[in-house]
């Protein structure tokens, strides 16, 4: 029975390693979308703090500046009212979303109500002031966010499992995503670089001079047919177990 359930798990979830840099390892999973996301792939991204280098003794993922760039086609976003004006916004920080409930592309680490999105590109992502986030976030091929969690104690533990979850991306099945950026824990510099994040620049402005992006990898999607066959196999095992 145990082996059967293990195969069901493998059939619906691919786990990959992205890259390793000073202080962090980068991992991701990819699953086939269901319901409104049928025909799409859902990526979940993780940064694992290996407590090495300047970050020796740290446990958190506290701040980041990250790009999601699909190699073809565009990212898909969730649109909902996040600023209370009854108009749709691009839900770029994942209000109501988590690593087990990704309904559109977003970036965030830690609780939604404690997350500060300092710079988001493209802009505007909110409908306030007459902006049109639905139009702006249709056809996006480079999504960037700089943000941080209020207080190190509120940042997620990044030393177990795949690491701390920092966002999800939804793309058509078969599309790979280039991921690049920089991250930091509560101890040490930014992925081993002591320069500070440009938190004092206004929203929409380019980042100030500072460290170059410290990690880069391609999150690869399995072939659509391969992923579908594995899911079908998992369903078959579940049905067989029920009959027994």
Read out DSSP for 152-206?
Answer: GGGSPB-SSTT-EEEEEEEEETT--EEEEEEEE-SSSSBTTB-SPP-TTSPTTSP
- Helix 2-12 crosses helix 224-243 at what angle (to 10 degrees)? 150
Quick check: 139 and 133 in contact, CB under 8 A?
no
pLDDT for 140 equals 98
Cα–Cα distance for residue pair 174/236, rounded to 1 Å? 24
Whether the CB-CB separation of 67 and 144 falls below 8 Å is answered with yes
**Which residues is 148 bridged to in the sheet?**
63, 116
CA-angle at 69, arms to 126 and 104, nearest 5°: 45
As given in the structure block, the two tokens for residue 172 are 């058509």
Residue reference for tokens 């025909």: 39
What is the model's pLDDT at position 203?
45
3-state secondary structure of 111: coil
What one-character-per-residue DSSP string does 139-167 give? S-S-EEEEEEESSGGGSPB-SSTT-EEEE
Which stretches of the chain score pLDDT less than 50? 1-13, 191-213, 228-244
pLDDT of residue 10: 30
**What are the extents of the domains in the chain?**
15-223
Please tell me the distance from the alpha carbon of residue 85 to that of residue 20, in angstroms, as a whole number.
42
- Which neighbouring-strand residues pair with 63? 148, 184
């Amino acid at each position: 029975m145990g082996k059967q359930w293990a195969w069901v798990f493998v059939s619906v979830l691919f786990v990959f390693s992205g890259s390793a840099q000073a202080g962090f390892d980068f991992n991701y999973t990819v699953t086939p979308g269901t319901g409104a996301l049928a025909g799409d792939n859902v990526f979940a991204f993780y940064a694992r703090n290996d407590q090495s280098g300047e970050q020796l003794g740290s446990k958190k993922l506290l701040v980041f500046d990250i790009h999601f760039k699909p190699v073809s086609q565009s990212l898909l976003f969730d649109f909902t009212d996040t600023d209370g004006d009854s108009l749709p916004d691009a839900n770029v920080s994942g209000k109501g979303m988590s690593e087990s409930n990704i309904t559109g592309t977003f970036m965030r680490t830690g609780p939604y109500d404690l997350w500060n999105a300092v710079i988001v590109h493209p802009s505007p992502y909110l409908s306030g002031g007459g902006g049109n986030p639905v139009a702006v976030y249709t056809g996006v091929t480079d999504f960037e966010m700089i943000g941080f969690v209020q207080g190190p104690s509120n940042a997620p533990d990044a030393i177990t499992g795949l690491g701390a979850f920092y966002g999800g991306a939804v793309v058509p099945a078969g599309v790979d995503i280039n991921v690049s950026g920089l991250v930091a824990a509560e101890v040490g510099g930014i992925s081993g670089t002591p320069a500070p994040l440009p938190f004092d620049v206004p929203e929409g402005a380019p980042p100030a001079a500072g460290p170059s992006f410290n990690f880069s990898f391609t999150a690869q999607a399995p072939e659509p047919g391969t992923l579908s066959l594995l899911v079908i196999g998992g369903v078959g095992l579940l049905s067989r177990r029920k009959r027994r």
